[in-house]
């Protein structure tokens, strides 16, 4: 039955269901913490709903802007994203937990790396289309598509934000692969990145600690391994049907960041394996719909843009779920559409609006 539903409807339905789940789970995971810290159990969910409404506005606007405009604005958008990352190094950069990842202005915080991901995807869609006849050449079809996004990735590393840098690197590799870049060039790039990865891991002590704790979190059960262990306990307590919405125990000051990076753990505890499977199914429907939109786009730019945005959101979801399940070291990436966080939610919904516009423009007579 699902194959008879238009891709745009599946895209919209899966997105809005995930956003609705996010609102419910943000309240479920945060009301006790919000009551204790701010005396208002609705503190976090009210802000999250406000950002969801802002994201809805971004979705509606993006769905009505002809996506071809981004082709002409690829370089200005990329430059603006770079400026946003550079501003983090000034007094506007807001430091949390030893990292400057947010710009705080007039009481609002914004994460420039979220828009940087969109900017890189737009640039690569433009570049891959423009160089389609020379895409196999190293100096023309490969090097600029690596070096220019590499500048933004380096700026993100300086925050430092290793998780977003890795995500953006994988987006760059995936889009170049889809665009037809020689596999040998991409393999060479990944081999060249290994020494850089080794340097980062050994240079930043917290990265090495995360990897060691990932291997065996019980080496430091009350310290660095605490979050991972509590996530295991949450999933284990959930069983098949879960403890019930709002009945989870790990969010009661056991599981840090329960309403942000580790919200999927609480979903596992309160909604069980069935709830987890439904969330994964929604992400799969979203991914398949986005890929189909890309394959049916009327031009290469639309195809690369839809594929890149779909990969960005799907890959980030996979990484987040893998982290909370202990399959990857913690990276600080939110679960798209669900985790609490204004910048992420607004940018994710705007990205869906762009994908929808590609569908609409491709089906115009």
How far is Cα 168 from Cα 151, in angstroms, rounded to an integer? 11
How far is Cα 275 from Cα 70, in angstroms, rounded to an integer? 38
> Are 8 and 359 a contacting pair, CB within 8 Å?
yes
Crossing angle for the helix pair 300-324 and 342-362, nearest 10 degrees?
Answer: 150
pLDDT at 222: 80
Segments of the chain scoring below 50 in pLDDT: 1-4
How far is Cα 208 from Cα 202, in angstroms, rounded to an integer? 6
| pTM (2 d.p.) | 0.93
Q: How many Cβ atoms are within 10 Å of 69's Cβ, its own excluded?
A: 9
pLDDT at 107: 63
pLDDT at 2: 44
pLDDT at 331: 77
> Are 264 and 320 a contacting pair, CB within 8 Å?
yes
> Are 7 and 289 a contacting pair, CB within 8 Å?
yes
Question: 3-state DSSP helix/strand/coil percent for the chain, to nearest 5?
Answer: 70, 5, 25
How far is Cα 347 from Cα 110, in angstroms, rounded to an integer? 11
pLDDT at 228: 87
pLDDT at 106: 64
Q: Identify the DSSP state of 40.
A: -
């Amino acid at each position: 039955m699902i194959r008879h539903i238009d891709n745009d409807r599946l895209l919209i339905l899966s997105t809005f269901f995930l956003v609705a789940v996010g609102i419910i789970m943000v309240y479920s995971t945060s009301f006790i913490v919000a009551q204790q810290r701010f005396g208002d159990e609705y503190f976090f969910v009210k802000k999250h709903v406000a950002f969801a409404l802002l994201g809805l506005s971004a979705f509606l606007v993006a769905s009505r802007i002809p996506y071809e405009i981004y082709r002409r604005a690829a370089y200005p958008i990329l430059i603006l994203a770079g400026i946003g990352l550079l501003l983090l190094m000034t007094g506007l950069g807001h430091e949390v937990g030893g990292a400057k990842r947010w710009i705080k202005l007039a009481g609002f915080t914004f994460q420039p790396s979220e828009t940087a991901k969109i900017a890189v995807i737009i640039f690569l869609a433009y570049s891959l289309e423009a160089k389609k006849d020379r895409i196999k050449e190293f100096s023309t079809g490969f090097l600029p598509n690596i070096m220019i996004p590499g500048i933004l990735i380096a700026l993100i590393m300086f925050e430092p934000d290793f998780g977003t840098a890795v995500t953006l690197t994988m987006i760059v590799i995936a889009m170049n692969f889809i665009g037809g870049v020689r596999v040998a060039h991409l393999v060479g790039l990944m081999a060249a990145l290994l020494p850089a990865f080794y340097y980062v891991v050994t240079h930043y002590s917290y990265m090495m600690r995360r990897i060691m704790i990932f291997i065996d979190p019980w080496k430091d059960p009350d310290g660095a391994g605490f979050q991972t262990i509590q996530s295991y306990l949450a999933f284990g307590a959930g069983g098949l049907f879960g403890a019930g919405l709002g009945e989870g125990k790990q969010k009661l000051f056991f599981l840090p960041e329960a309403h942000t990076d580790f919200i999927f753990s609480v979903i596992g505890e309160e909604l069980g394996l069935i709830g987890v499977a439904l969330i994964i199914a929604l992400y799969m429907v979203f991914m398949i719909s986005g890929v189909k939109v890309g394959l049916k786009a009327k031009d290469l730019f639309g195809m690369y843009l839809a594929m890149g945005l779909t990969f960005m959101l799907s890959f980030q979801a996979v990484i987040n779920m893998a982290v909370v399940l202990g399959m990857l070291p913690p990276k600080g990436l939110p679960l798209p559409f669900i985790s609490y966080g204004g910048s992420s939610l607004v940018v994710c919904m705007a990205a869906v609006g762009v994908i929808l516009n590609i569908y609409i423009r491709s089906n115009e007579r």
